[in-house]
Amino acid sequence: MDKKLILGYAMNRALTGFTAEDGQKLTHVNLAFGVLREGLLNMDGLPDITELPRIRSDNPHLGVVLSVGGWGAGGFSDMAMTAQGRKAFAESCARVADQYRLEGIDIDWEYPCVDAAGIDADPADKENFTLLLQALRDVLGKERIVSIAVGAGAYFCENTQMDQVAKICDYVQLMTYDIRSGFESEAGHHACLYTAQGDRLDGSAHSTVLDFAKHGVPKERMILGAAFYSRRWEGVPNINNGLHQPAKTTGMGGANYGDLVANYFNNPAFVRHWDEQAQAPWLFDGSTFISYDDPQSLRAKCDYIKRENLMGIMYWEHGCDPTRTLLTVLAEELGCSK
């Protein structure tokens, strides 16, 4: 079996706990996040990047990529509005890549043309997103990685030029989680592989793959997303075990997988359910609904990646599973386990 890519997003707090075994199971780690300050890359959010020499010593072949942006990180629209702005930003990325011997830069602009995160946005983002990535490629060259993280939904394709973007980027990381999120008051799956009957949102990893393929992204350049954290809904009626029921809250950030193992899986009040159509689990105690990824759902995603010839898988976020249960599953299923 061909080895697929396994990429783990790691926030600053996860770097000190990064182990030799982690480095052997991953092909790449995405450092989260660099941000923009006055149009240039700023690294103040990653003080523990000094851990990189130790992390690399455990696995010299591990690719280290800097992710720039994240939810609520602004400055992209204004920076990308001019050729000078794009070039200056790209050059600041190259300086950081040289300083820390990074394999590449990952752009996590959430999202072009959309100001939902309270950041700057403009209709011109659609073209400028492409131009920004081209400027980054021009400065970094062909040897370094240029990648992007994209929202799971047709809206991202509509607000970008993905057929052109795909020709610039080494791969496109599909954030196939938060499909149901803080904007949605119906309890349901936030990281499902398929759309189940009765799910009015019609969102899933599979539908996202189809959307991006239709807009010109080759499947072999797609990285599927997995969630190492949960989302929860409160005040859910005890009908259909809570699935697709109206909640009194929107999809709040839920427990990380490590917390689920420690405090929920052994709690008899919470019963695990499995949606065969969606290939996704959930927990329900009669009023609280928790959606998450687990070993069974990840194995289904890995089978899908191999069957559809996707490039690999990525997850958010490395520090969310101190048990390393989920990363071990990915390594075993996608051929990276030693």
For residue 116, being part of any structural domain is answered with yes
**Domain CATH number, residue 320:** 3.20.20.80
Region 115-132: what's the mean pLDDT? 94
Cα separation of 334 and 41, whole Å? 33
Q: What pLDDT, on a 0 to 100 scale, did the predictor assign at position 58?
A: 85
Q: Quickly count: other Cβ atoms within 10 Å of residue 284's Cβ.
A: 22
Q: Is residue 117's pLDDT more than 90?
A: no
**Residue 78 falls inside a structural domain:** yes
How does strand 222-227 pair with strand 229-233? Answer: unpaired
Question: Which tokens go with 259?
Answer: 């917390």
- Measured CA to CA in angstroms, residue 107 lies from 148, 153, 191, 264, 270 at distances of 5, 17, 22, 35, 38
CA atoms of 25 and 327, how far apart (whole Å): 7
**Assigned token pair, 25:** 């199971």
255-279 pLDDT, tens digit per residue, is 999 999 999 999 999 999 999 999 9
Q: Please give the structure tokens belonging to residue 77.
A: 């629209």
49 has a pLDDT exceeding 80: yes
pLDDT bin (cut points 50, 70, 90) of residue 1 is very low
Q: Is the pLDDT of residue 336 over 80?
A: no
Torsion of CA 93, 98, 103, 106, to 10 degrees: -10
Mean pLDDT of the chain: 96
3-state secondary structure 203-264: CCHHHHHHHHHHCCCCHHHEEEEEECEEEEECCCCCCHHHCCCECCCCCEEEEEHHHHHHHC
Q: Is residue 233 part of a domain?
A: no
Q: Residue 337: its pLDDT value, please?
A: 53
Please report the pLDDT score of residue 338 as a whole number: 43
Of 7, 6, 9, nearest in space to 316 by CA: 9
Give the total number of structural domains in the chain. 1
The pLDDT > 70 percentage for the chain reads 99
pLDDT per position as a tens digit, 248-261: 999 999 999 999 99
For position 300, what pLDDT does the model report?
A: 98
DSSP structure string for 273-298: EEETTTTEEEEESSS-EEE---HHHH
The 252-256 sheet, strands edge to edge:
252-256, 229-233, 289-291, 280-284, 271-275
Q: At which residue do the structure tokens 């062909």 appear? A: 142
**Domain membership flag for residue 138:** yes
- Give a yes or no: residue 269 inside a domain: no
Cis peptide before 111 (omega within 30 of 0): yes
Interval 191-198 mean pLDDT: 94
- For 149, the domain range is 5-227+292-334
Residues 158-181: what's their mean pLDDT? 97
Position 53 pLDDT exceeds 50: yes
Token readout for 42 is 């700023």
Query: What local confidence, expressed as pLDDT, does residue 284 receive?
Result: 98
Report the pLDDT value the prediction gives residue 164, as an integer from 0 to 100: 98
Amino acid, single-letter form, for residue 286: G
Span 189-198, mean pLDDT?
A: 95
Tell me, yes or no, whether 189 lies in a domain. yes
The answer to the question of residue 262 being in a domain is no
Could you give the residue ranges of the DSSP H alpha helices within the chain? Answer: 12-15, 20-25, 52-58, 76-79, 83-100, 125-140, 154-158, 162-168, 205-214, 257-263, 295-308, 325-334
The pair of structure tokens assigned to 13 is 């707090």
Could you identify the residue written with the tokens 């990064």?
Answer: 18
